[in-house]
Structure 1
């Protein structure tokens, strides 16, 4: 339209009025485009500032962080100088010195690592089970850094999707090994499970029969397998526990089973077994096959192995298969033997008797043995033996046959009577003990008295099974595991500690990390804790001590919490933390998890973080720059068109067009 007016202007001078109209319109349009261009420029400046100073998470700390709030190398060095959270001892455990941190180029993170690109292992202050992550799938090593207990485990254990990426400060430690310190949380990370001087693992395995030792075909037999890496700071790689069941056994179940091939059972725990203060426990159930013969003795052991230690077998507990006896049959009568005549001896000639040899007193005697347990122990056995001798004999020593198998296990040369012998390391069960006193007389041979039998019963080493149950009191859900909770709901946790042995468990130390629960809930009555002997420490661990947990008894701790009326919409502190993830997870023997009905703001934020593309500051700046260029072009075009119209009007007026 504008071009048509200009083309017809020489033939119709009255069109100058329309040019004046368009000129005013273009001036208004130019003013609007000027304002838009200024706003775009300001937006671009905001994007530049945001790229230079990126936003931080709304939550500054997680209890798993080695040191929180790490954004630059300077903040990392400042934390070192202040020894915040004892990071010097922790970093030095992995060979990282202040000079190594100072040598990292630049101020900002200089590397990005992807959790699945290598075998990354990171370090944190809490075990995986504190966040409801099973350590069965992921190997984990407990590390003691000068009294600071930290945990090293695969970085991919934290992934909630296919993989995760982390900004990090990359450098080399004092031994020339590359390390990565993750931004925000300060957790040292390596491309393998790493310690400068790792100790050799010490693996132990114990297999115990839980049911009767005499069973019938078709009955179920249960075993307990306990295995552990007992050496602090060590990590067994290539770990495997194997149980080759006897062919007379039929497999039923095994806790933490990784794979099974026929009667060969395997537990791997991701191939690594780190140091742990208490053993892992797996219960094995098998069934005796129906065609097993009578009086068959079946023994089975478990074998534990790793790259560093080779194979080690447990004891092989045995059972005896007893079938129903067959009906008795009457034996055939045996005929009496024919009588044999007695021969009459012929008379012998009389022979003078030889003189008798000189008589010497033969040493003789007997002994009495008894057993008792040493004070404060159920493993240290004291065998007391009293010897009684005759005919001038004296005691010269004692022999001990443990379990009465015909082999002397100990020999003590002593003349004392009574005499106390202390032995240890007997396995749980009933042990028959035979003691022999060695006696002699002057110039005579050494002889043994008859056996002095005694026995001792060694109780099991006390062990506990842990379990947790959760109830939603408000919604009247007896088993709230896997359900959703809302604001104001009252939740009841029950922590059960069961002594599964016939021995009292003295001074049991209970510990349950409750921090994940308290992010979305609060305790209803603190006196409820003190009345049960529970203490909530500064790290949100519930701790207690049970002085004596009786044999085959249980103890239950009950904790009630109320979901907060205003559920926090707080973001997670870092990509390594499951805190504030709209879920409550708690682990005490078994894990219970409940989803939280989070506010819509939190839900939108979570959806945006997972579904929207992660553009980053570079992409945002490029888009803002493009918009600024287009807005500038449109503003400049409007100004040029206004000037062209003014020039046309001026020339037309000077040319006498009006």
Structure 2
């Protein structure tokens, strides 16, 4: 059209009106293509968000996460460490991982596999001790203690994950998973120990007192005509015990002095009477004695304790074990030994075994917790059952006298673990106690995708562990299956979309530039016509 008008213009000046009409159309076309160019640029900007801010899974966090919801950068990891989120600062300090170790690890992002023989740490148990899962108590900076759980990483399945990888003098190689913030080590945790300068059994550690030496007690045991005198003295923080001096009195008259470097000495006496033994401890802080280091005895002595000959018969500690009268009550053999078992019955499906049937919408399942005391001593037991996995597909229909509470050891927020707890009960030797509760499968079974940091979450199974693990399949709805099979569809991610948008942009820019060029040429022609040079 443009060439036709220009070629005829020298021979037909009236064509200048057609040229003006064409110029107006070109201006409108240029404005339209400019709008198209702007809209294409905006689409590219929106599309870029899918690259820099990828979508998160609807089930991307779990109550076992050390950092709920995971991390996406090294600065987030260090911020959670400084805030002591879920006591990770306390855990890392205890294991010997410093902040500088973590900061160095944030510069080493790697892709790892769960089948590397490593151990995964979390806040809640999932697999039980029979499968290699262990617990680890760490003293917190708030003055209490917190239990962490570690298990072989391959129990979660065979998968790859992104993690910050570092090295510390305390643990050697370590990794921090991005999707959950969990710690990965190549070995089971070391034995607990108190910090340098403290004494006690972890986590009950304490700073030792000032240098001190005391005479704590004197013990007298009779064996025939021989009396075994045992000293109980202590010295700490540099103080030392040098000698033990036993002054023996009969009827308030000193009859013998025994000086020894040993705590235990033997004194033989047959003469009837009332005796008093005064123990004096020679120490680097001087001579020490106390009322507890003064003992009396009379000849003849009363009978000995039948279960423990080291005690007198009327000693308050002389008591038989409830399960075996021949054993002392404080003997290591006289203790409780609890054995926990669990069964599940699908009431709706004719009381079938819940582990061999598929639970359907509305089904009611009764779980029975059994505890038997196979020991020799009565002891208190608290029934506890972690039911978070059950509540993904079911509701508590009848708690059976238990109370549903949040597990305070789990992370806060929407990821709280739920636990059914019953009142403490004393269980006698050989006795079995049971507790039962009933759940009902939800009328609308969730089609939630399998958990990202916890593959056992929303996996169309409800697992429950109390001694043994009871696992029941759930009849998940069709959308659950569709969501799982979409991984087989062709991948058309952000990169492909950006490529397509780039091609569209190039086309739009071309036509916009062409419109501008034609508009400029029309202005030149009209100017030349006005000047009479055309």
TM-score normalised by structure 1 residue count: 0.48
Q: 2:385 aligns with which of 512, 526, 544?
A: 512
Q: 2:368 aligns with which of 494, 516, 530?
A: 494
Q: Does 1:623 pair with 2:493?
A: no
Correspondence for 2:186:
191
Deviation at 1:49, TM superposition (A): 1.3
Alpha carbons 1:128, 1:135 under 8 Å: kept: no
Deviation at 1:537, TM superposition (A): 4.2
Deviation at 1:525, TM superposition (A): 4.0
Deviation at 1:535, TM superposition (A): 5.8
Q: Does 1:148 pair with 2:146?
A: yes
Cα pair distance change 1:422/1:85, threshold 3 Å? farther
Q: How big is each residue's C-alpha offset from its partner over 1:426-472, in whole Å with a ceiling of 9 and x where there is no partner?
A: xxxxxxxxxxxxxxxxxxxxxxxxxxxxx964487443332212122
Alpha carbons 2:95, 2:171 under 8 Å: kept: no
Structure 2 CA distance, aligned partners of 1:144 and 1:82?
A: 20
Correspondence for 1:581:
459
Alpha carbons 2:368, 2:436 under 8 Å: kept: yes
> What's the secondary structure of 1:54's corresponding residue?
coil
Q: Does 1:554 pair with 2:432?
A: yes
Structure 1 CA distance, aligned partners of 2:269 and 2:437?
A: 60
> What's the secondary structure of 2:462's corresponding residue?
strand
Cα pair distance change 1:155/1:640, threshold 3 Å? same
> What's the secondary structure of 2:225's corresponding residue?
strand
* The structure with more radius of gyration: 1
Cα pair distance change 1:541/1:38, threshold 3 Å? same
Correspondence for 2:118:
120
Correspondence for 1:654:
none
Residue segments in structure 2 that go unaligned for 5+ positions in a row:
1-28, 140-144, 194-200, 204-220, 228-265, 271-299, 310-323, 328-332, 408-416, 522-534
Deviation at 1:494, TM superposition (A): 1.1
Alpha carbons 2:95, 2:170 under 8 Å: kept: no
TM-score normalised by structure 2 residue count: 0.58
Structure 2 CA distance, aligned partners of 1:413 and 1:589?
A: 55
Residue segments in structure 1 that go unaligned for 5+ positions in a row:
1-28, 200-230, 234-382, 386-394, 399-410, 426-454, 648-658
How many pairs are equivalent? 382
Pairwise CA RMSD of aligned residues? 4.8
> What's the secondary structure of 2:495's corresponding residue?
helix
Correspondence for 1:536:
405
Cα pair distance change 1:110/1:557, threshold 3 Å? same
Cα pair distance change 1:479/1:633, threshold 3 Å? same
Query: 1:411-430 to 2 correspondence within 5 Å?
Result: 416-421=300-305
Q: How big is each residue's C-alpha offset from its partner over 1:242-300, in whole Å with a ceiling of 9 and x where there is no partner?
A: xxxxxxxxxxxxxxxxxxxxxxxxxxxxxxxxxxxxxxxxxxxxxxxxxxxxxxxxxxx
Correspondence for 2:88:
87
Correspondence for 2:164:
169
Q: Does 1:568 pair with 2:446?
A: yes
Structure 2 CA distance, aligned partners of 1:35 and 1:497?
A: 75
Correspondence for 1:437:
none
Structure 1 CA distance, aligned partners of 2:464 and 2:506?
A: 60
Cα pair distance change 1:419/1:505, threshold 3 Å? closer
Query: 1:191-590 to 2 correspondence within 5 Å?
Result: 191-195=186-190, 396=225, 416-421=300-305, 457-458=326-327, 461-500=335-374, 503-525=376-398, 528-530=400-402, 536-538=405-407, 539-544=417-422, 546-590=424-468
Deviation at 1:30, TM superposition (A): 12
Cα pair distance change 1:627/1:580, threshold 3 Å? same
> What's the secondary structure of 2:76's corresponding residue?
helix
> What's the secondary structure of 1:76's corresponding residue?
helix
Correspondence for 1:261:
none
Q: How big is each residue's C-alpha offset from its partner over 1:27-60, in whole Å with a ceiling of 9 and x where there is no partner?
A: xx99999999887765543342122122233246
> What's the secondary structure of 1:179's corresponding residue?
strand
